[in-house]
Chains A and B, each alone.
Chain A
């Protein structure tokens, strides 16, 4: 199976094979590529970035991301949950919006500062 590594902008083209239960990776230029390929074959994970509604802020939304990759299969569910969230301004960059996103163990962090609207 061919994969493009997303660990960094280099975008190595990986060739992944399964040989008697062992996953063999070729084409990676670093060790992260190998780890990525193994994970991609079992349970692909992604960092999710989106926005959360802010109440009383100088912006209507605050941009957020997960602090670690979350299983790709959970993303629709996580998005549905994020759509229901409201956070009161001010919001600080790095502020934890959600401690544990749907039991994934990932935190949802604000990636920008939103001040209170005057």
Chain B
């Protein structure tokens, strides 16, 4: 039997990984050049606790469960995950009832450890927080991760367990006969399959329609972010009191020691509109400064925007459909990242495996993470260089990334400058690739046997250089 997963974001990657536990041929399709280059690439990277979501929603159910899966999942896959805890901060007395509402909601959802803390308690833990706060909801299970790294690691692990990965291939139609899925057609060819899972992120509505389903539209909601370098004196994720539309502008200590500010929540028309705007960035600054007044914006190293898939009903699509063999894992708005592991398990084990009486097969849950010299002790690093001198040649000075790590990232599937950056953190530091872009370009060209002009930043039409100066 063959199963197809459409979309190699964090949701599709984790679903593909779970499917590989069964006696199936699993194919994963991604329209972008690399895994995790859609919604997964640009979001807040937060593993939520589950107090933001109304009881009874799929969001609440899968968020709390997904959060609990994270430590083991990230350990198995060698992906960074840090339980930072989070505060929702009340800046006025009027906001305190909102904290109480979130507390009650969280408890109803089964979120552990929630408590409302007083100003002194919060400031003792987070001295940089606005001293004008009146109270805060403490959620110890909130954490941070690297969403793209999770998607990449899940795919790597699935490849180890027999996955067939199709990158840069766009699904065009889904073949359905007598109410049953027969396969998919892409811009490359036809692939027969009995099982098709729609994890197409922003495009899950289009994919569902290909199968003949009448689904509501998925609307892109844009979030703009600013990344500040090396602000290490903030330990927890900081939220303002939420609005009906969003969780507000957050302050997030990232796993690699930077500070992520954002996102805005803007409904846009275009599913590729990741532009930042003057107003949006201003809103991020102001929002972040409300929580932490003395942020140093001269330490900004990047601004960017991501899109999250929204629907009018504001809840996930998870489960079987009226088309036999066609399953939904779409409309993964926040907390989609958190929910993804729980959704993958539910959908694969409780729905698909049961329906098709799938039999399990030998499966290795672990993925050996690539070496990261910045995390090694001097002795360990020294030893690694003795095995391979390329781990002694530094390519990215800001984040201490070596040629050995870049080559390993390419071996594991990186094809673009951004792909290397997301896998190794080369170019993610303060100089933003000023010192390493040329080195990465040449290593990519060498390892892939291509000309420098054929190396892309992130997409098919994003070459770095146009060709030699002296042909």
Contact = CB atoms under 8 A, between A and B. Distances in A.
- Please tell me whether chains A and B touch each other in their complex, using a CB distance cut-off of 8 A: yes
Interface of A: 51-53, 60-61, 83
Contacts of B469: 51, 61
Q: Is the interface of A mostly helix, strand, loop or mixed?
A: strand
Nearest to A54: B470
Given A51-B469, A51-B470, A53-B470, 6 more contacts: A52-B470, A60-B468, A60-B470, A61-B469, A61-B470, A83-B470
A61 B469 CA distance: 9
Which 9 pairs, one residue from A and one from B, show the smallest C-beta to C-beta distance? A53-B470, A61-B470, A83-B470, A51-B469, A51-B470, A61-B469, A60-B468, A60-B470, A52-B470
9 contacts: A51-B469, A51-B470, A52-B470, A53-B470, A60-B468, A60-B470, A61-B469, A61-B470, A83-B470
A53 B468 CA distance: 10
Interface of B: 468-470
Contacts, number: 9
A53 B470 CA distance: 6
Contacts of B470: 51-53, 60-61, 83
A61 B470 CA distance: 8
A83 B470 CA distance: 7
A9 B313 CA distance: 67
B69 to A, nearest CB: 51
A53 B469 CA distance: 9
A52 B470 CA distance: 8
Contacts of B468: 60
A8 B469 CA distance: 29
B389 to A, nearest CB: 16
B468 to A, nearest CB: 7
Contacts of A51: 469-470
A52 B468 CA distance: 12
A9 to B, nearest CB: 25
Nearest to A83: B470
A83 B468 CA distance: 12
A52 B469 CA distance: 10
A5 B470 CA distance: 32
Nearest to B470: A53
Nearest to B471: A53
A60 B468 CA distance: 9
A11 B54 CA distance: 69
Contacts of A60: 468, 470
Nearest to A85: B470
A60 B470 CA distance: 9
A71 B469 CA distance: 24
A99 B21 CA distance: 72
B112 to A, nearest CB: 60
A88 to B, nearest CB: 14
A51 B469 CA distance: 9
A26 to B, nearest CB: 42
A99 to B, nearest CB: 21
A84 to B, nearest CB: 9
A22 B468 CA distance: 48
A45 to B, nearest CB: 25
A80 to B, nearest CB: 12
A17 to B, nearest CB: 42
A104 to B, nearest CB: 21
A61 B468 CA distance: 10
A68 to B, nearest CB: 24
A70 B469 CA distance: 23
A30 B308 CA distance: 65
Contacts of A53: 470
Nearest to A61: B470
Nearest to A82: B470
Contacts of A52: 470
A51 B471 CA distance: 12
A69 B222 CA distance: 56
A106 B470 CA distance: 22
B470 to A, nearest CB: 4
A83 B471 CA distance: 9
Nearest to A84: B470
A31 to B, nearest CB: 38
B387 to A, nearest CB: 23
B360 to A, nearest CB: 53
A51 B468 CA distance: 12
A41 to B, nearest CB: 34
A93 to B, nearest CB: 19
A35 B469 CA distance: 35
A59 to B, nearest CB: 11
